[in-house]
Amino acid sequence: MFQRMHHHLLGLFYPNLCGVCNENLESEEEHLCSSCLCSLPKTNFHLSPNNLMEQRLWGKVNFHRATAFFHFQKGSPLQKILYSLKYKGDKEIGEYLGKLAATDLIQSADFQSIDCILPVPLHPNRLKTRGYNQSEWIAKGISTIINQPLDCSNLKRITDTRSQTRKNVYDRYVNTEGIFELDSNSNLKNKHVLLVDDVMTTGSTIESCIHTLNRVEGITVSIFTLAIAT
């Protein structure tokens, strides 16, 4: 009773609002109200080998499994969440959704052998401007749940590419050739790594990452994105 009253009093001065509908959150809710969270379209790709995301990567790169947590469409509530995560400094919602996604991932045997988690890196110039890497915060949430280390040092972005948003498929591919490199002291040999990004559209950035990672002897790469454009 006291805790509930304390929560409501705090809400008068420091409102805790849903990231989609802007309604007040209940004491047991985080970042999103239950209604908005339940409305987000989950893919359940982690339970479906040969899913849409994997099909988009077939014949382009070598990988073990690929999954996305949500389906993404322009104008959807998820777009608002991703915009806040990427451009409004709401990095904690990335960690929160990463934790939720990881509770699903560990239901699949294919994702139970992960040795470390690698977020798709930002170029230092972009990181300095934004102040954080949104993919790192998603990966941080996953790391907490599956209890495997977060690795933000082995994979580096060496080319500061322009935004991919308005590029066609071919231009996106050209724009992401050779933009990543591995640290000279990379310790990923014979490991199963989970590559984490926010959204998969054409997959060109992820493909470039995997081409770089596959230079490591004995490496196995799986992919997770918070959303996939459908």
- Extents of the domains making up the chain: 1-39, 41-229
pLDDT score for 178: 79
pLDDT score for 118: 98
- 182-230 confidence digits (pLDDT tens): 998 889 999 999 999 999 998 999 999 999 999 999 999 999 999 999 8
- 27-51 confidence digits (pLDDT tens): 899 999 999 999 999 999 999 999 9
Mean pLDDT on 117-146:
97
- 136-175 confidence digits (pLDDT tens): 999 999 999 999 999 999 999 999 875 545 555 555 455 5
56 against 167, higher pLDDT: 56
Q: Mean pLDDT score of the chain, rounded to an integer?
A: 90
pLDDT score for 169: 53
**41-229, what's its fold?**
Rossmann fold (3.40.50)
Band (pLDDT 50/70/90 cuts) for residue 9 is: very low
Band (pLDDT 50/70/90 cuts) for residue 7 is: very low
Band (pLDDT 50/70/90 cuts) for residue 97 is: very high
Predicted model pTM: 0.88
Q: What is the DSSP string of the chain?
A: -HHHHHHHHHHHHS--B-TTT-PBPPTT-BSB-HHHHHHS-B--GGG-TT-HHHHHHTTTS--S-EEEEEEE-TTSHHHHHHHHHHHSS-HHHHHHHHHHHHHHHTTSGGGTT--EEEEPPPPHHHHHHHSS-HHHHHHHHHHHHHT--B--SSEEE-S-PPP-TT--HHHHHHHTTT-EEE-TT---TT-EEEEEEEEESS-HHHHHHHHHHTTSTT-EEEEEEEEEE-
